[in-house]
Amino acid sequence: MKIKVTLVTLLVFALASGFAFAGDSLISVNGQWIENDGWVKMVGNVPYGLVGEFADRAGATVSWLDNAHIAVVNIGENYITFWNHSQEATVNNKTIVMSAPTQTIDGRIYAPLDFLTEQLGIDCTWDAGLAHAEITGENFAFSQNEIYEASYTEDDLLWLARIVEAETGPSASIYKKSAVANIVLNRVADPRFPNTIYEVIYQRNQFPPAYYSKFATLVPSQNSYLGAERALLGLEAVPDCLYFNYIPFKDKADDFYKLIEGDYFYY
């Protein structure tokens, strides 16, 4: 069962979605949005799956050989061996070259998502635009408390994409666009700020582009829609951050989080 790459669509206006996901990618199982507690990660442009987590959810067992930095997954009659930082894996006694080398992150072994899901018999579609792993099938375990449900409107997405477009311009990455969208949504969730996207954008002296004459009719680019949509679905590029600026804030040095493509993001 081979992972598939799909074209991005923008037909997600009425999706059930969650605001509590963590990390740099999104996961759904059979149409339910699931909290990504670090078990799908991006390294460069490659999606990776946490070997132990996926094996456990697929009903496989994992043996760890710490001294040799090896993970051995047993599913049915098959054994899959992963070495640390190696592009080669062994399925039974056959060596296979994966699309990218394994990664060790926080002491845990990750394998390229396409190879890992195929070997475990998991049907997985990867949407590169949304950074979304869509898993289907009855043999992938998850609990009800991992599901997040919320909703957003077409207007929410449009206004968020407009301010993302105005603040980042045409050349910014989708990651930066998601970060700016996070700022707006983090403010919506914070009692010190207004509680709607529209009101946060138009709060006095906060987002200057909102007062440009053409802002209210601005047509966002596809990438600005994607950046906004990823944030609405819960992808956290800048968790808990409330401010950003193209020059550092002298009075917020202790609250600095990250520099992204020329803009400084702060808690």
Domain span(s) for CATH 1.10.10.2520 in the chain: 154-266
Residue from 45, 261, 264 nearest 169 by CA? 261
Give the confidence band of 60 by pLDDT, cuts at 50, 70, 90.
very high
pLDDT in tens, 127-161: 887 888 999 988 888 888 888 775 789 999 999 99
Mean pLDDT confidence for 13-31: 57
Helix (H, G, I), strand (E, B) or coil at 259: strand
Expressed in angstroms, the distance from the first to the final Cα of the chain is 43
Q: In what order do the strands lie in the sheet with 70-75?
A: 61-65, 70-75, 78-83, 88-91, 94-97
Reported as type and span, the H/E element at residue 175 is helix 174-189
Classify domain 154-266 by CATH architecture: Orthogonal Bundle (1.10)
Mean pLDDT confidence for 21-47: 82
Residue 112 has pLDDT above 50, yes or no: yes
Please tell us whether the domain made up of 14-146 is placed in CATH 3.40.109.10: no
Domain span(s) for CATH 3.30.457.10 in the chain: 14-146
pTM of the model: 0.71
Give the confidence band of 10 by pLDDT, cuts at 50, 70, 90.
very low
Percentage, residues of the chain above pLDDT 90: 61
pLDDT in tens, 173-231: 888 999 999 999 999 999 999 999 999 999 999 999 999 999 999 999 999 998 998 88
Strand-pairing partners, residue 33, are 28
